Structure 1
Amino acid sequence: MFSRVCVICTGNICRSPMGEALLRARAGDKLSEVYSAGIGALVGHGADATAVELMDEKGIDLSPHRAQQATAGVLSRADLVLAMDRSHLDWLHRQHPQLRGRSFLWLHWRDAAEVPDPYRRPRAAFEEALALIEQGTEDWLARIA
Structure 2
Amino acid sequence: MSATAAAAAVPRFATVPEERSSARAAGASGAGHTEQSAGVFNKVLILCVGNICRSPTAEYLLRRQLAGRDVQVTSAGLGALVGHPVEGHAMELLQEHGIDASPHRARQLDAQMLREAELVLGMERRHLAAAARLAPEASGKLFLLGRWLEFDDVPDPYRQPRQAFEDVYGLIERGVDSWLRYL
The TM-score, its normalising length taken from structure 1, stands at 0.95
RMSD: 1.1
Which residue in 1 is equivalent to 2:101? Answer: 62
Aligned letter for 1:59?
G
Q: Is 1:38 the counterpart of 2:77 in the alignment?
A: yes
Greater shift, 78-87 or 104-113, is seen at 104-113
Greater shift, 126-135 or 94-103, is seen at 94-103
Q: Which of residues 60, 70, 74 is equivalent to 2:113?
A: 74
Q: What is the DSSP-based 3-state SS (H/G/I as helix, E as strand, rest coil) of the residue aligned with 1:101?
A: helix
Q: Distance in 2 between matches of 1:25 and 1:112?
A: 23
Q: Is 1:94 the counterpart of 2:137 in the alignment?
A: no
Q: What is the DSSP-based 3-state SS (H/G/I as helix, E as strand, rest coil) of the residue aligned with 1:100?
A: helix
Q: Is 1:121 the counterpart of 2:160 in the alignment?
A: yes
Change (3 A) 1:112 1:102: farther
Which residue in 1 is equivalent to 2:122? Answer: 83
Identity rate, percent: 49
Aligned letter for 2:168?
A
Q: Distance in 1 between matches of 2:70 and 2:141?
A: 16
Query: CA offset at residue 110 of structure 1?
Result: 1.5
Which residue in 1 is equivalent to 2:65? Answer: 26
Contact map agreement 2:157 2:168 (CA 8 A) in 1: yes
Contact map agreement 1:39 1:70 (CA 8 A) in 2: yes
Q: Distance in 2 between matches of 1:31 and 1:117?
A: 30
Contact map agreement 2:114 2:131 (CA 8 A) in 1: no
Aligned letter for 1:8?
L
Query: CA offset at residue 23 of structure 1?
Result: 0.3
Contact map agreement 1:24 1:31 (CA 8 A) in 2: no
Which structure carries more relative contact order (alpha carbon 8 Å, separation 6+)? 1
Contact map agreement 2:83 2:105 (CA 8 A) in 1: yes
Contact map agreement 1:105 1:112 (CA 8 A) in 2: no
Q: What is the DSSP-based 3-state SS (H/G/I as helix, E as strand, rest coil) of the residue aligned with 1:34?
A: strand
